[in-house]
Structure 1
Amino acid sequence: MTGSLSPPQWLIDVLSTYNQVLAELFWFVVGFGIVYLVGQTFLTPLVTRIIRSRNRNNPTIETAAKTYLRVVLIGFATLTGIIAAGYGRVLSESAVIIAAITFALGIAGQQVFGSLISGMFLVADPDFNVGDWIEWPDGSGTVEAVDFRVTRVRTPDNETISIPNTELTTNAITRPYGRTTYRVTEQVFVAYYEDTERALLELQQVVSNLDTVLDDPAPNTRVTELGENAVEIQAEFWINDPRNKDVLTLRSDFRRLVKRHFDEEGITLAPPSGQMLSGELTVTERPDGSTDSRATRE
């Protein structure tokens, strides 16, 4: 018995039907892959080096440029793949297809494009940089990167959160450490029966003992409020380059020094309770041998 095995006719029909589709898919992958690999291997590092050399003090532009360049590269690679697959004429001649794609992108990508535009505004803001400490209505932390859709922020608990760019551009952002100097304000509560003037002088001495405090502007102390149970006094002092200092640790050191110094000088801080009571206890012995105690409160 002679002859050769040949595939069934139905398989030949299926392969012939999808032959063109597979060929188009192959050329799409080839066109997309070549453009994307060349861009990632040569173009992105080159552009990144140029931007880094021109913006050494602004890492925000460098990280944002990588993100946006990747988006542009993917779009151009996709377009190249479509043309390589033989659909370039369809895109150029069919107004219906272009309108449908535009409509779909407008509906599905409304929030994405909004975040992209917001991210561009953040990158263009000279006072918004990677490494800055920012505060917004829902939290605070250090900016790590401005991406295509979100901004990554590291919180004081060392957690990384992703905030939509639109949230940062539509809300007020505070940059407490955005300048070369920063004012630290601390309140101390002193008991009413203490000498307030003496407490102010001793508080001024505590501030002067901190190494990180600047002489200009000079630190000062003042009475800020006569509270219900204590006198509130305040110390104000300035530090240099707050981004390189742990402000929370500085505040803690100041409070420790205040507590220790006031204890040494015999100055009582705010009483532990809302009211301080004083008086005496009298014990009287009755004829029958029992006792009667009476407390007098002032």
Structure 2
Amino acid sequence: MNLLDPNTIQDLLEKGVTLLTTHGLKILIALLTFIIGRMIARKLAEITRKVMVRANVDETLRGFLRNIIYYALLAAVVVMALGQAGLNITSFLAVLGAAGLAVGLALKDSLSNFAAGVMLIMLKFFKKGDYVTVGGESGTVAAVKIFNTVLNTPDNRQIIIPNSSILSNTITNVSANDTRRVDLVFGIGYDDDLLKAKQILERIVSEDPRVLAEPATNISVHELADSSVNFIVRPWVKTSDYWGLYWTLMEKVKLTFDAEGISIPYPQTDVHLHQTEQ
């Protein structure tokens, strides 16, 4: 076919005019539907984001939900536009549904982590900066993401834990409350002066400014053990002072007991040998 032939050109023009006459309006309506629908989807997604900001929804969840809403609306707009263009969207929707099912099965674990991440963010069991024990690991929360949570350990290791593992196990949040109780046990020998040892413990605790007046510190004889008389020492401190006070008291009690002649016994076994006549 010679494209330069006048008859050929005439045929092409006639077919073009026929195509535009038959489908031009549908294509125009489809384009307008897509453009206007995309604008509406973007606007609704932005309104949703602002509503979540006013509701103090977590930033990570805000961004994710905004994108989910936008792309879901955009997919609906595309389907509407294809329908306006005169295309049969029934087969398209069937293929899209089958593809969605296959992707869902393939990403089953990821979807489980996603659902757990949404729950963690919404329920706020912990937040960035808290020291927690989750999924068998302990550390400071660096980030709570949709699919996983990132912890930084005291020795500066980074641990990434799938959110589903966190939600299906016990969560311990050390930083949840403003105050904590320091639980210590000190043993003295049975021959040592019990009242003197108790007075020493009370003095050491009272001299530390980090110890809170309320709740009151509990210093009591807790156990008459096999080789020692054990005191419990339970002062209350701000959560941020926990380890500082813990280490300070351990050191001061040992040094003071040594200076005051109070022994700190350790488990030992005495073996007695008896000779028998043959």
- 1:268-287 equivalences under 5 Å are 268-271=263-266, 274-275=268-269
Query: Residue 202 in 1 paired to residue 200 in 2?
Result: yes
Between the aligned partners of 2:75 and 2:68, the Cα distance in structure 1 is 12
Q: CA deviation at 1:197?
A: 2.7
Q: Which digits, 9 at most, give the CA deviation of each residue in 1:87-139, with x for residues without a partner?
A: 99576653430331122122111111111111111112144222222123512
> Which stretch shows the higher mean deviation, 120-129 or 180-189?
120-129
- C-alpha offsets along residues 150-200 of structure 1, whole Å, 9 cap, x if unaligned? 011112222121111111111111123311221111111222221223222
**Separation in structure 1 between the aligned mates of residue 255 and residue 211 of structure 2, nearest angstrom:** 19
Q: Is 94-103 or 170-179 further displaced after alignment?
A: 94-103
1:125-164 paired onto structure 2 within 5 Å: 125-136=123-134, 138-164=136-162
Name the structure where helix makes up a greater proportion of residues: 2
Alignment correspondent of 2:92: 94
The answer to whether the Cα contact below 8 Å between 1:150 and 1:165 also exists between their aligned partners in 2 is yes
**Matching of residue 64 in structure 1 with residue 61 in structure 2:** yes
The alignment yields a C-alpha RMSD, in angstroms, of: 3.6
1:19 paired residue number: none
- How far 1:78 moved relative to its partner? 8.6
**What is the aligned partner in structure 2 of residue 220 from structure 1?**
218
Aligned residues: 229
Conserved 8 A contact 1:68-1:148: no
Higher mean C-alpha displacement, 108-117 vs 131-140: 131-140
Percentage of matched positions with identical amino acids: 26
Q: 1:140 to 1:222 in 2, by over 3 A?
A: same
Matched residue, 1:262: 257
> Normalization by structure 1: what TM-score?
0.64
Q: How far apart, CA to CA, are the structure 1 residues paired with 2:124 and 2:134?
A: 18
- Give the gaps of 5 or more residues in structure 1: 1-30, 279-298
Give the whole-Å Cα distance in 1 for the aligned partners of 2:197 and 2:152. Answer: 39
| Whole-angstrom distance in 1 between the partners of 2:168 and 2:234 | 32
